[in-house]
């Protein structure tokens, strides 16, 4: 079963009397253990596609099926549960909770997902160890480097064992060497769990980490 199937998805916005097309009849199938790089310039529709795949935005038209579940018509409550249990997000701005430690930033995701407390603590510690952050578990985000914060964000995205991981511009604020380290980390973590991922990037130097690359221009996907 594919991790993601988007069929003829369209997303439009009103701007005064005109219609702005953010995504134009996009169709995409993602294998259950495939890593896809989505490449395009700023404003091309990359983040819109990512947000629709993760249930953060509702399409104007079309169908979105994640792990066999049609999410396009879910109500707000079921969409919230879907995002919490089925999808892991790594945002461009990282978005860690500033007053929580690295470990607590992972545990808060488990609490939202209503995981058993003891099992959640074991999983958080195991992820932090895998990510080379065991000695930083008690540090606040402000005490971490940019690369360390990015690694905490990756751990948070994997905390509830999602079927689909969505990553938005993971290397945009990093130099080439650190960007490559982060991409290697994301792909190794995702592949070791046979999880699917879409990685949005404008940096074509990073696409070799993906199984497949698709370009998007003006809301239109180009294989």
Question: What is the arithmetic mean of pLDDT over 81-105?
Answer: 88
> What distance in Å separates the CA atoms of residue 35 and residue 31, rounded to the nearest whole number?
8
Question: What is the arithmetic mean of pLDDT over 199-221?
Answer: 90
pLDDT recorded at residue 116: 64
Model confidence at 119: pLDDT above 60: yes
CB 103 within 8 A of CB 156: no
What is the average pLDDT value for the chain, to the nearest integer?
Answer: 89
| Angle, CA 159 vertex, CA 27 and CA 176 arms, to 5° | 70
pLDDT recorded at residue 197: 95
The CATH code for residues 4-100+163-222 is 3.40.50.300
pLDDT recorded at residue 179: 79
Secondary structure percentages of the chain, helix, strand, coil, to 5: 40, 30, 35
Query: Within its chain, how far is the Cα of 136 from the centroid?
Result: 23
Backbone angles phi, psi at 37, to 5 degrees: -95, 125
> What distance in Å separates the CA atoms of residue 187 and residue 87, rounded to the nearest whole number?
16
pLDDT band per the 50, 70, 90 thresholds, residue 175? confident
21-55 per-position pLDDT tens digit: 899 999 999 999 999 999 988 889 999 999 999 99
150-169 per-position pLDDT tens digit: 889 989 998 888 889 999 98
Question: What is the arithmetic mean of pLDDT over 210-223?
Answer: 92
The structural domains of the chain, with segments of one domain joined by +, span: 4-100+163-222
Q: For residue 39, what are its two tokens?
A: 């490449």
CB 10 within 8 A of CB 61: yes
pLDDT recorded at residue 165: 94
CA of 206: how far to CAs of 95, 165, 168, in Å? 22, 17, 13
Which helix (H) or strand (E) segment holds residue 54: the answer is none
pLDDT recorded at residue 113: 57
pLDDT recorded at residue 215: 95
Q: For residue 77, what are its two tokens?
A: 């409550």
Sheet architecture: strand order including 18-30: 18-30, 4-15, 61-66, 69-70
Question: What is the arithmetic mean of pLDDT over 76-93?
Answer: 86
> What distance in Å separates the CA atoms of residue 97 and residue 32, rounded to the nearest whole number?
30
> What distance in Å separates the CA atoms of residue 32 and residue 34, rounded to the nearest whole number?
6
């Amino acid at each position: 079963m594919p991790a993601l199937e988007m069929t003829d998805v369209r997303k439009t916005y009103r701007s005064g009397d005109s219609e702005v097309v953010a995504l134009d009849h996009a169709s995409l199938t993602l294998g259950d253990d495939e890593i896809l790089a989505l490449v395009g310039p700023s404003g091309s529709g990359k983040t819109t596609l990512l947000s629709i795949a993760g249930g953060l935005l509702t399409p104007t038209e079309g169908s979105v099926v994640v792990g066999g579940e049609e999410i396009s018509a879910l109500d707000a409550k079921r969409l919230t549960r879907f995002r919490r249990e089925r999808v892991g997000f790594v945002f461009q701005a990282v978005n860690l909770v500033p007053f929580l430690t690295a470990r607590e930033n992972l545990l808060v995701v488990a609490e939202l997902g209503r995981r058993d407390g003891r099992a959640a603590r074991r999983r958080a510690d195991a992820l932090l160890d895998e990510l080379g952050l065991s000695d930083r578990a008690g540090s606040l985000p402000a005490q971490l480097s940019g690369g360390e914060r990015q690694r905490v964000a990756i751990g948070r995205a994997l905390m509830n064992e999602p079927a689909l991981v969505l990553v938005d511009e993971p290397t945009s604020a990093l130099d080439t060497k650190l960007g490559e380290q982060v991409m290697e980390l994301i792909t190794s973590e995702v592949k070791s769990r046979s999880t699917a991922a879409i990685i949005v990037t404008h940096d074509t130097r990073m696409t070799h980490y993906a199984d497949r690359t698709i370009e998007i221009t003006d809301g239109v996907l180009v294989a």
